[in-house]
Structure 1
C-alpha cells in the first residue's frame, strides 16, 4: 500500500510540474492568436494601413525571432525554470503594455516584448518537461505542451468574442492574458529545477533529490549515474553542424520549418476574422464567432493526430497533409474568384487547418527533433527556431500587403491563395525528395545516416539493418 501511495504521489508530482511548464505553450497560442480578434478594432482605432496591420500582427513574431537565441544561452546558464520565469516577466510586461497602448508604435513595442517571452517559453518549456519526465511517459507529457498551445488558441478566440461588443474591448482581450501569466509565475515558485541541468552544474545532491520525487531511490540513483557518464562524453558544438552530412540535416530542418510557416495556414489562423470579414461576414463579433469552428476543429485534429502519427509513416502522413493544404488553397481561390456565399469560405479554411494540424504542424517538430544527433540537438534547434520565427514574421508582415495588392490589381484576393497552393506543391516535392523516414529508428541510426552522408532517397528493405546503419525511406 505504501509503494502504491508513493507511485501515485510521484505521478501527481510529474503531472503537476508538466501542467505548470505547459502554461508556456498555452501563452504561445493565446498571445499569437488574440491579435486575430483584436485586429478589426485596432484597424479602426489606430487607422491602420495594410503595412501597419502586418506590423501589429508580426511584431510579436519579430520578438520571437530573438527568443530562441537568448533562450539557448539562458537555459544553459541560469536553468530551465528561471528561463521560464524570465519568459513570464516578458509576458506580463507585454500584457500590461498592450492593454494600455496609446498608439500602434508602442503597441508594437509591447507585442515585441511578448514575442521574446514566446521565444524563451518555447525553448525552455519542452526541454524542462522532457528532462523531468520518466522515459515511458516522456512522449505523452511533452505533447501536453502542444495541446496547451491549442487550448490557448481556442480560449483566445472565445475571449475575443466576449470582449468584441465594446469598441474598447480589444484592451480587455490583451489584459485577460494576465490570468495565465500569474498562474505560471506562482507555479514556477513551487516546482524544482531540471535534474539534468542540476547535474550538468555539478549540483548532484539537488539533482538526486528531484529524481527521487519522480522515481524510486534505486532508479533515481541509476539515472543520475547515467547522466554523469553522458555529461563526461558530450563535446557537441556548432562546428559539428557544419560537417557535410549534418549540414544537410540542418538544411532539411530549416526548410521544413520555413515551409511550416509560409504555407498560408498560419495566416488563416492569425487573420481569420479579417479574412471572413473580407469575404462578406460583418466586422466585429460576428466575424470572430464565425471563426470559432476553425479553432475548435484544430483542437479536435490535435487529439486525432496522436493516433495518426503512431499508425502511419512520417513521410507518408507529411506528404498527404501538405497535399490536403494545397487542395484547400485552390478551393479558397475558386471560392473567392467566383464570389460564393461567405459561409462557404469556412470549408476550405477547415480543410487547410485540419490537414495542417494532422500532419505538417506536429511532424515538423517531431522530425526536426529526431534528425539531429544528441550532442548538437540543442544548438541545431536554436538555429532552426530562428529561421522558423523569421519566416513567420516575414509572412505575417507581407500577407495583408500582398492581399491588398491582389485586391487592387485584380479586384479579388484569390491570387494570394494560388501563391500558397504553389508553395504547398513545392513543399510536397521537397518532402518526397529530401525528408527521410525516421519512424521506428533509433537516434543513433539517424545520426549515423547523416554523419555517413547517406542520400535520403536510398532505400534499404531490411529494417533491422537500417536501424544499425542508416535511415529507411518508405
Structure 2
C-alpha cells in the first residue's frame, strides 16, 4: 500500500515576493488558456449535436463518432507531445497546440459533411492532447511547492470556464442553418489570445536546466522566488537531474513504475466514471428525460455547467486546506452516490425534472475533487527528466479511455433502454467504477501536498527499498 508520505516542517514553503506572485499568476493565466480551449472544444459539440444530427442524418453510432473524433485526435497528441515537450520545450509545444486549435476552428466551421467535420475535429483533438499534456507540466514546474496544487487547478478552472462559455455560445447560436458553424468559429477568439500570450511568457526553468541552460533557468526562478531561494531550488534541480538518465526505460524502474501505474489508473478513472458523459451529453440526456426550458434542451443544462464553475472555484480552498487523498476519496464516493440516485430515478420513473438532482451531485463532486486532483497528482509525481514521457503515457490512456467511453455511451444507453426499458443499468456500472476508484485511491495514492517536485522524485526512487510498501519523506 502506497499511502503514507510524511511532509517536513517547511511544507508551506518560504514566502513568494509580491512581484513574483503577480508574475507567476500572469504566466499561469496564459498557460491555462489551453485548458479553456480543452473545455470549450469538447463541450461545444454537446450544443451542436442536435443540429448535426438533423443536417447530417446521424445514427447513434455516428453521434458518438461526432463527439469522440476530437478525443481520438487527443489520443495521438501525447505521442507527439512526448517528443515536442522534450526537444522544443513546454512553451513551444503549447504554441503548436494553438496552431492545431486554429486550423480545427476554421475547418469545423466550414465542414460540408460528417467525415470532413470529423477530420477537423480530430486535428483539434491533437491540439487538446498537446495542450493538456504541456500546460499542467509547465504550470507545475514553475509553481512554488505550497502553491502548486492551487495553480495547477487554475488550468481546471479555465477548463470549466471554457465549458460554460461553450454552453452559452451554443445557446446563443442555437438556430437553424449556420448556427452550429458559428458555435465552432467562436473558438478563434481564445486561440488568438493564447498565441499572443505565449509570445510573452518564459520557458520552464526545469526544462532549461535539463538542457544545461542554467543561467536562463536561474533568471526565471529568481523572478518568481527571489535570488536566495532560487539558487537553492536550482541546486536541488541540478542534483536530481544528475541522478536521472531521462531515457524511456527509466519509467519502468522500481518505484517510478509504481508512480506510472498510479498515474495511468487515476487518469483512466477520471474518464470512465460517467460524469464526463453527463457533461458531454447533458442536453441530450435532459431532452430524453422530457425536460424542456424555452423549448431548448441546451438552456436546461445550464444549471449543471454553472454548478461545476462554482465547485471548481470552491475546490481552490479545499485543495489548499485538505489532503490530496482525502479529497479524492470523498469526491469519487459522492460521484457514486449521484450515479446510484440517477439509476433509481430512471428505474422508478420519477418526475423528469428530478434528473437534474443526480446530475448536479455527480458533476459537482467530480469538479470538487477528481477532476482537478487527477491533473495535479500526475503533474507532480514524476521526476524532472522523464516527466514529459510519463505524462505522454498517462495522457495516452486518458484520451483512449475518454474516446471509448464517449463512443460507447450513447450505444450502451440505447441498448439498456431497448432491452430493459430503462438506461439505469449504465449508471449502476458507473457507480461501481467510482467505488473502485475510491478503493484504489485509499490503497495506492500517496500524499504529495506541500512537497517540492524534487522531494517527490526522491520518494519514488527510495520507495522500492521499503519492504512493507510504506514509504515516507523526512
TM-score higher than 0.5: yes
How many residues are matched?
A: 456
Where 1:340 maps in the other structure, the secondary structure is coil
Distance 1:332 1:439 in 2: 34
Q: 1:413 aligns with which of 418, 423, 444?
A: 423
Q: Which ranges of structure 1 fall in alignment gaps of 5 or more residues?
A: 1-6, 459-464, 469-474
* Deviating more after overlay: 347-356 vs 159-168: 159-168
Q: TM-score, normalising length from structure 1?
A: 0.88
Q: 1:453 to 1:284 in 2, by over 3 A?
A: farther
Whether the aligned pair in 1 keeps the contact of 2:149 and 2:320 (CA below 8 Å) is: no
Distance 1:415 1:282 in 2: 24
CA deviation after TM superposition for structure 1 residue 325, in Å? 1.4
Q: 2:62 aligns with which of 52, 56, 78?
A: 52
- Structure number with higher helix proportion: 1
Q: TM-score, normalising length from structure 2?
A: 0.88
CA deviation after TM superposition for structure 1 residue 339, in Å? 2.2
1:119-143 Cα distance to aligned partner (Å, 9 max, x none): 1111222222333445554443332
Q: 2:3: which partner in 1?
A: none
The higher relative CO (CA closer than 8 Å, separation ≥ 6) is in: 2
Q: 1:24: which partner in 2?
A: 34
Whether the aligned pair in 2 keeps the contact of 1:372 and 1:380 (CA below 8 Å) is: yes
Q: 2:463: which partner in 1?
A: 450
Whether the aligned pair in 1 keeps the contact of 2:141 and 2:206 (CA below 8 Å) is: yes
Where 1:159 maps in the other structure, the secondary structure is helix
Where 2:472 maps in the other structure, the secondary structure is helix
Distance 2:49 2:38 in 1: 18
Where 1:466 maps in the other structure, the secondary structure is coil
1:363-414 Cα distance to aligned partner (Å, 9 max, x none): 2233334544455433222211111110010000000111111122222222
* Deviating more after overlay: 436-445 vs 350-359: 436-445
CA deviation after TM superposition for structure 1 residue 204, in Å? 4.4
CA deviation after TM superposition for structure 1 residue 67, in Å? 0.9
Matched, 1:383 2:383: no
Whether the aligned pair in 2 keeps the contact of 1:80 and 1:124 (CA below 8 Å) is: yes
Written as runs of structure 1 = structure 2, the 5 A alignment for 1:312-391 is: 312-391=322-401
Distance 1:338 1:353 in 2: 22
Q: 1:235 to 1:370 in 2, by over 3 A?
A: same
CA RMSD across the alignment: 2.7
Q: 2:47 aligns with which of 37, 46, 50?
A: 37
Distance 1:78 1:89 in 2: 15
1:73-128 Cα distance to aligned partner (Å, 9 max, x none): 11111122211111001000110111111111111111110111011111222222
Where 1:82 maps in the other structure, the secondary structure is helix
Matched, 1:432 2:442: yes
Whether the aligned pair in 1 keeps the contact of 2:145 and 2:450 (CA below 8 Å) is: no
Distance 2:103 2:404 in 1: 24
Q: 2:24: which partner in 1?
A: 14
